[in-house]
Amino acid sequence: MTTLAPSPPVETEPARRASSPDAASRRTAAKQVGVLVAVCLLVILAAPSDYSVRIATLVLVYAALAMGLNVVVGLAGLLDLGFIAFFGVGAYTYALLASDLHDIHLNFWVLLPVGMLVAAMLGVLVGLPALRTHGDYLAIVTLGFGEIVFILLVNLDRPVNITNGPQGVLGIDLPSIGGWEVGKEGVFLGAFGLTPTMQFFVLATLYVAAVMYCALRLRDARLGRAWRAMRESEAATSSCGVSIVRAKMSAFVFGASVAGGAGVLTAAWYGSVFPDSFLFSESIKVLAMVVLGGIGSVWGALAGALMLVLMPELLREFDQYRLLIFGLVLVLVMRLRPQGLFGSRSPGIRAPGTLGNRIRRRLRRPTDRGGRS
Amino acid sequence: MTTEHLLVARGLAKRFGGLVAVDGVDFAVPERRIVGIIGPNGAGKTTLLNLLSGALRADEGTILLDGADITRRNAAQRAALGLRRTFQNIRLFGGMTVLENVVVGMHAQTRGWIAGGILGGPRVARAEQDAFDTALAVLDALGLGTRVDHLAGSLSYGEQRRVEIARALASSPRILLLDEPAAGLNSAEKRAAAELIRTLPERYGLSVVLVEHDMDLVTHTCSTVSVIEYGRPLCAGRPAEVFSDQRVIDAYLGTAVAR
Ligand SMILES: Nc1ncnc2c1ncn2[C@@H]1O[C@H](COP(=O)(O)OP(=O)(O)OP(=O)(O)O)[C@@H](O)[C@H]1O
Ligand SMILES: [Mg+2]
């Protein structure tokens, strides 16, 4: 090893950044979003049927959700088991404020940020008590929160009818842009020969593109660095001057608002919402997408969504064996690529690969209780 | 303990259940000096550093940084005030690059949160640029210039120790708490570490609190040394005096760990 004291003139200059880190991150994010949009364009051009466009839109909605949850779980390392509740809150925000139910008809572009804001505020409310404590407490609190939201959606039809209970809300307004309604034959993008389904696909593409850009930018920014650091050691991260509670709260709230926006979009697309769409199993489904795609990877979130939406569709013909095959494929993927489709294996822990070792390593999570160091 | 002291602790105490890990320690660090803390295993050295850094809350006592009471500040706030530390068991962000590790250490020097992170803007961009430049310079200075793009977890043990120091140094701290920075290093690495630590005050204008078992290293670097045993101060003085003090010899022999 070389001496380290007096700074020796380094001959081999380390890779100096050609451009500023911020500009580089902006370029990377823009490029990747460009790829996504290009792929979406291809999908719409090549889609054989309206049905396939609908499936593709569903993939995009789930991709937005998975990208949002990926920030919470993958980057910040917070286990959120009630994530779908924020989606539901966004969906109902639009459903209640843009339908005949209460005879309120606010504009989609107003309600999109409103839905995100409502979800974010709920995120703060849930996060404040939960994030101040350590570890798995958050998982339990979010699980409970998800159930509470579901129960409220079902039961808030009496004594005053707010959510219309288990019947859900029907006849939700189509989004309109400058008087043209998205998703109506012949108008707006219909002028380009786009069917109503395709128009929603375009809307979903725009939303996912925005979410992806934000997620990629944040990942490499100051906040994202703090998230990724925190996931590895809270003690070390706070010793760097990062407020752990603030960093966790930001991740949680960011994820919540992404889900809220996706909810608004979906309510407008479906034209109806039902409480049953926001069950615990949906939270797990989105979590599975994140894990399957590779925890922490933005493209992984998309891949996970693609897989978990497409596979059940493709397996339709196998009928009663559908779930069995589905489960087997999931197990196989996780067995062969435990880091997920797009995940990178954690460095430093170079694994002598016995299964026992791997399981043990997984169970042994670093405990950072500030005490002994 | 006058205002010339950068860091002053009075009557610090910490109990874990029935165990008194730190028991009424007074402690002062002058500007631009290296102060050693030694003591047998389990004496409470790390606990003392945890109290100073804010990783643990003291049960009793006060801590002043530059005359200001920071007893109620948490670890992040103290770090932002220029009180930085390393860990006895290295705690790097193994999945991040060496450069990123150091830039995380510059949290107080960088800008932007959610909106700033997404949108950027000149203020954010300039702070990022400056932070990355400073981080590169510090890594160069610590001989890690060729490692900046490696994942921290893939580095050798000795290199990881230096990355930890770089992570703390890059933020231009006023005071650096080092918890056994030479533990696990070979003798060449130890000499290099001693040389690095010895020159820190003049090169970076900071004070160092050095917890260390290695007597050579302590003698080489510290102007004064405090000895603690069972959480209590045993004696203090210049390294040569302290190491020849019979009480210190007994304390170390008593636990038979004069490493
Ligand atoms: N978080 C904790 N909970 C309970 N006991 C603790 C905790 N941290 C430290 N202790 C106990 O406090 C005492 C002092 O520990 P500390 O780690 O401060 O010693 P040390 O001087 O740093 O020892 P070493 O030289 O081995 O690093 C020990 O008896 C230890 O077991
Ligand atoms: Mg110790």
Q: Which residues pair with A169 in a beta bridge?
A: A273
Distance of alpha carbon A343 from alpha carbon A336, whole angstroms: 12
Cβ contacts of A72 on chain B, cutoff 8 Å: none
When pLDDT is cut at 50, 70 and 90, the band that residue A20 belongs to is: confident
Cβ contacts of B117 on chain A, cutoff 8 Å: 217-218, 221-224
Residues 19-48 of B with CB under 8 A from A: 46
**B179 closest CB neighbour out of A218, A370, A373:** A373
**A4 closest CB neighbour out of B79, B96, B143:** B143
Query: Ligand 1, atom 30: nearest CA belongs to which residue?
Result: B42
Query: Ligand 1, atom 6: nearest CA belongs to which residue?
Result: B16
Average of pLDDT values for A4-25? 60
**B95 closest CB neighbour out of A16, A221, A347:** A347
What proportion of chain B, given as a percentage, has pLDDT over 70? 96
Average of pLDDT values for A306-319? 84
Residue entry with tokens 């102060």: B35
- Confidence (pTM): 0.89
Taking Cα atoms as reference points, which of B63, B56, B98, B93 lies closest to residue B81? B63
Instruction: Please answer yes or no on whether A14 and B140 come within 8 Å at the CB atom.
Output: yes
Tokens of A16: 């100096």
With residue B178 as reference, give the H or E element that holds it. Answer: strand B175-179
| Helix locations, chain B, DSSP H | 45-53, 75-80, 98-104, 114-119, 122-141, 157-169, 187-204, 215-221, 239-244, 246-255
Instruction: Please answer yes or no on whether A10 and B117 come within 8 Å at the CB atom.
Output: no
Model pLDDT for residues B114-164, shown as the tens digit of each residue: 999 999 999 999 999 999 999 999 999 999 999 999 999 999 999 999 999
Cβ contacts of B57 on chain A, cutoff 8 Å: none
Model pLDDT for residues A193-222, shown as the tens digit of each residue: 788 888 899 999 999 999 999 999 999 999
Q: Does A117 touch chain B (CB under 8 A)?
A: no
Cβ contacts of A217 on chain B, cutoff 8 Å: 117-118, 120
Model pLDDT for residues A235-266, shown as the tens digit of each residue: 999 999 999 999 999 999 999 999 999 999 99
When pLDDT is cut at 50, 70 and 90, the band that residue A131 belongs to is: confident
Average of pLDDT values for A21-38? 95
CA B50 to ligand 1: nearest atom: 18
* ipTM greater than 0.90: yes
Distance of alpha carbon B161 from alpha carbon B143, whole angstroms: 12
Q: What is the DSSP letter of A174?
A: P
Contact call for residues A231 and A59 (beta carbons, < 8 A): no
Distance of alpha carbon B240 from alpha carbon A228, whole angstroms: 45
* DSSP labels, B103-124: HHTTGGGS---HHHHHH--HHH
Task: Tell whether the model's pLDDT for residue A356 goes beyond 70.
Answer: no
The answer for A25, left when phi > 0, alpha when psi is -120 to 50, beta otherwise, is alpha
Tokens of B3: 């205002």
